[in-house]
Amino acid sequence: MMSAWATWGKQVVALLLVLAVGLVSAGCNPARFAQASADVPRLVLSTLSDPKTFNPILSQESPNVFSFTFEGLTTTDGITGETVPALAEGWEISEDGKILVFTLRDGLRWSDGEPLTVDDVVFTYDTLFNPDIPTNSRDGFRIGTQGLLPKVSKVDDRRVQFTLPEPFAPMLENTSLEIIPAHILQPAVEGKDAQGKPLFLSTWGTDTPPAQIICNGPYRLAQYISGERVIFERNPYYWQQDDQGNPQPYIEQVVWQIVSSTDTSFFQFRSGGLDMESVQPDFFSLLKREEERGNFTIYNGGPGMGTNFFAFNLNRASRNGKPLVDPVRSAWFNSVAFRQAVSYGIDRQTMVNNIFQGLGQPQTSPISVPSPFFAPPEMGIRTYDYNPEKAKELLLADGFQYNSGGELLDAAGNRVRFALITNSGNKIRESIGAQIKNDLARLGIQVDFQPLAFNALVDRLTDSLEWEALVLGLTGGTEPNGGANVWLLDGALHAFNQNAGPGQDPLEGWQAADWERRIADLYIEAAQIIDEDKRFELYKETQQLTQEYLPFTYLINNLSLTAVRNRVQGVKYTALGGALWNIQELTVE
């Protein structure tokens, strides 16, 4: 899967998560926006939240700006899933699989016109591997039981070498990591603030003027107004050209409108203010009827790459003497029987029918359904069909009890009640949270459901670590090791039992369960093996463990659906790549 919060790195928590124009006089009317933008080819999209950073190394969320602004040595073909050249024109791998040498394209430049060199590549990986810099991406490069990192060195002016301590199956795909400019950022990595932390940690925040963000992708930042929009403009120094030698991308500008909810985004698409819209299930039927009149096409990529899940905070640690989770509730959450009872108490089929309008199916794995490493239930993966009676049996056998009012109490007589959070504005997640509240009420459990602003939610998950239960999602991919930062014990997105990150106050009494350690060991072992059949067996065991012990309670795998205006030409839609994986080739009429 992908990790990143609603990005989490290549998964990214992720998290599955501007109608204002560049002209003040245009205001916020969609029609006026379209008229004002007619002078250049422009693609108008939407997002539910402001960017949290313009620094790709520090990013922890998805969506983010970096698919537009940065590239790595390689990238992923959105149709085949194969690793293909990007900033590197090619590579060689030694017979023992421990040395990879990449050759950069000739004449690469940054968006300020400065040369992009092998020194930038070495600097990027040195920064990524710097233990003083917290980053989601580092976990995906850890090799073997010792978690060793590759050595990255300059061969000559165009070649860079990665030396591995042992063969590492995900290494080639991992080199899609965004390359950052040494001539701009090296002083920030080497410099320290008053607390002795690298200045890099506060560099390229969203308060940085866009002109100071030097990038290498098809676009560069042109404007950012908090709560309104992000505007990207074509990077004149981007390397890619078409077969006739014409510079790409063809679309001059991309606009992100920052909207308050999926409802707002939907209405703006219908009114013509957006060129693309992720199709929410409850809007599918209406949009399907309007395809011809609205001059757009709904693309169906099949099962989505991401996950939707419910999770408890299993962290038993304290910080500065204060438990992260109330000890009474923590005891409930850390009971496997309690988590299994809750899973049996969630009516997933009703979610499919009502919330997803039949456009999905119950999810049973952290690994994306299109991945060759996905193991279906027929292979011994445990499932949790809705069974409230089974749930109550598990609870009673675990020492819980019911009072005369049907309320669930623990053995000490405490009412079973907890707070559930998700990101506000995401109508699907808000609906899921509301249904879970109702479903668990039938088990006598009181759920206090509270949607939060996305950035506030991320802060709780990565900084304070103080939360009880959540509904969220992760982005996904075909390579399971993209989720290593979720499953390694010290992974940056090991959210259900997160340890303190670099620069944070340490935790006291942090501990991991045996099954949790086993999953981490399996991820390490699977990355060491090149044979895909053997890797599949190891990842199958991880899926058996995650469904047995439920660190995340998986919910619904929805179809990957996006509506795109027919004026956008060149779309090659897939669940893996979406509509924009080949953005440099797209045109607008």
Which tokens belong to 429? 């997640």
Pair (95, 158) in one structural domain: yes
Look at residue 503 and tell me if it is in a domain.
no
Which tokens belong to 116? 């992009």
Look at residue 15 and tell me if it is in a domain.
no
Partners of residue 311 on adjacent β-strands: 470
- Asked if the model's pLDDT at residue 278 lies above 50, the reply is yes
Predicted confidence at residue 35, as pLDDT, reads: 32
**C-beta of residue 346 within 8 angstroms of C-beta of residue 310:** yes
pLDDT digits (tens, 9 = 90+) for 206-235: 999 999 999 999 999 999 999 999 999 999
Q: Are strands 42-47 and 253-258 parallel, antiparallel or unpaired?
A: parallel
Pair (318, 249) in one structural domain: no
The CATH code of the domain that includes 268 is 3.40.190.10
Look at residue 499 and tell me if it is in a domain.
no
- Side-chain-side CA neighbours of 82 within 13 Å: the count stands at 3
Residue of 152, 155, 146 lying closest to 164 (CA atoms): 152
What one-character DSSP code corresponds to residue 573?
-
Range ranked top by mean pLDDT from 36-45, 447-456, 508-517: 508-517
Which tokens belong to 341? 């009872």
Q: What is the mean predicted confidence (pLDDT) over 456-479?
A: 92
Phi then psi for 451, rounded to 5 degrees? Answer: -65, 140
pLDDT digits (tens, 9 = 90+) for 531-585: 999 999 999 999 999 999 999 999 999 999 999 999 999 999 999 999 999 999 9
Pair (462, 327) in one structural domain: yes
- Asked if the model's pLDDT at residue 12 lies above 50, the reply is no
Residue of 170, 171, 176 lying closest to 75 (CA atoms): 176
Pair (251, 296) in one structural domain: yes
Which tokens belong to 490? 């010290």
pLDDT digits (tens, 9 = 90+) for 375-402: 999 999 999 999 999 999 999 999 999 9
- Asked if the model's pLDDT at residue 27 lies above 90, the reply is no
Look at residue 541 and tell me if it is in a domain.
no
Partners of residue 253 on adjacent β-strands: 42, 233
Pair (169, 246) in one structural domain: no
Look at residue 415 and tell me if it is in a domain.
yes
Pair (281, 316) in one structural domain: no
For residues 500 and 502, give the distance between their C-alpha atoms in angstroms, rounded to a whole number: 7
Which tokens belong to 238? 């981007």
Pair (440, 331) in one structural domain: yes
Pair (362, 413) in one structural domain: yes
User: Which residue did the predictor score with more confidence, 88 or 477?
Assistant: 88
Pair (436, 379) in one structural domain: yes
Look at residue 542 and tell me if it is in a domain.
no
- Asked if the model's pLDDT at residue 155 lies above 70, the reply is yes
pTM of the model: 0.79
Pair (297, 181) in one structural domain: no
Give the structural domain span for 172.
74-187
Provide the number of structural domains found in the chain. Answer: 3
Pair (241, 358) in one structural domain: no
